[in-house]
Amino acid sequence: MLSPSPNSAKKAFSRVALVGKFQADGIEDHLRDLAKIVSSLGCEVFIEAATASHLGLLDYPTKTTDAFEGAIDLVVVLGGDGTMLGIGRQLAGSNVPLVGINMGRLGYMTDIPIQSVQMTLPKIIAGEYEADTRTLLDAVVLRAGKEINHALALNDVVVNRSGISGMVELAVHVNGSFMYNQRSDGLIVSTPTGSTAYALSAGGPILHPRVAGILLAPIAPHSLSNRPIVLPEDSVTVIEVVDGREVIVNFDMQSQTNLQSGDKIEVRQSNKTITFLHPRSHSDYKTLREKLHWNEYPSTF
């Protein structure tokens, strides 16, 4: 990548942190190129501490994610949606926006191709962007009434069985009202962001990111009458493990807690949000069309 001509006259963000997926091929060179581009725009550049440590990037100062709030104006994430999920949870509620750059495979959140970053990123830093605020889920795991885990999820909270055990039986209450007992492989509680992830594979609907709601999607239910349902954003869902062996609860499929019969998972919308920035030309429908390979027809408009 070539660096753009220096232009420090107009910028909406002065302090920019770079985060990278450690395992990706060529990530070091791409991060150095990104750093040169951002620096040439008159911005102060930092490398997220874990990224710098894993890759041995010592050319720029580093900061840990817990030090970003108040010290970083914009985070540029190079990798896939999984990388964005991890950093998004860490920065939730910090008011630090994120830009996602993919390295070859379009993501729902990492929507800027690495090949176009030298044209797109300077425009975003100059203030030419669309802001996209996403909600998270707040989940508490209770055992005998005592909290044993508390986690955030940007995509979903998933209660499911291990690959070798049988079905699980779950009792679900919403806002204190009993909804159903369900025998299945598990249950997904999803944000609109997560509706295009595991919930989609389980037959759930796609929710536009601006839809205010929480999606419940059963995984391979024993009864076909157990269908996905979208709940109001202020709903509190309690899932109790009635029966089942080797049951776990996952948070964005990046961390988990082993469950026992009688354990409860209380899930509600978090009061924390995260903001993604997209190019002015961004279209959620274009991303869906390309990711899901929907048929394209010539526009008559």
Q: Where along the chain do its domains lie?
A: 15-129+279-292, 136-270
Cβ–Cβ under 8 Å, residues 79 and 21: yes
- Report how far residue 163's alpha carbon sits from residue 248's, in angstroms, rounded to the nearest whole number: 11
Give all strands (DSSP E) within 114-176, no chain letters.
Answer: 130-143, 146-153, 156-161, 168-174
What confidence tens digit (pLDDT) does each residue in 84-93 have?
999 999 999 9
Which CATH superfamily includes the segment(s) 136-270?
Probable inorganic polyphosphate/atp-NAD kinase; domain 2 (2.60.200.30)
- Residue that the structure tokens 């030309």 belong to: 281
Structure tokens at 173: 């209450």
Neighbour order of strands in the sheet with 255-259: 229-231, 214-219, 186-190, 156-161, 247-251, 255-259
Note down pLDDT in tens along the chain; length 301 residues. Answer: 434 444 444 789 999 999 998 877 789 999 999 999 999 999 999 999 999 999 988 889 999 999 999 999 999 999 989 999 999 999 999 999 999 999 877 788 998 999 999 999 999 999 999 999 999 999 999 999 999 999 999 999 999 987 776 799 999 999 999 999 999 999 999 999 999 999 999 999 999 999 999 999 999 999 888 899 999 999 999 999 999 889 999 999 999 999 999 999 999 999 999 999 999 988 898 889 888 888 766 565 5
- Report how far residue 232's alpha carbon sits from residue 234's, in angstroms, rounded to the nearest whole number: 6
What confidence tens digit (pLDDT) does each residue in 128-160 have?
999 999 999 999 999 999 999 999 999 999 999
Q: Does domain 15-129+279-292 have CATH number 3.40.50.10330?
A: yes
Give the Cβ contact number of residue 124 at 10 Å: 23
> Which residues have a catalytic role annotated?
81
- Report how far residue 196's alpha carbon sits from residue 186's, in angstroms, rounded to the nearest whole number: 18
pTM exceeds 0.75 for this model: yes
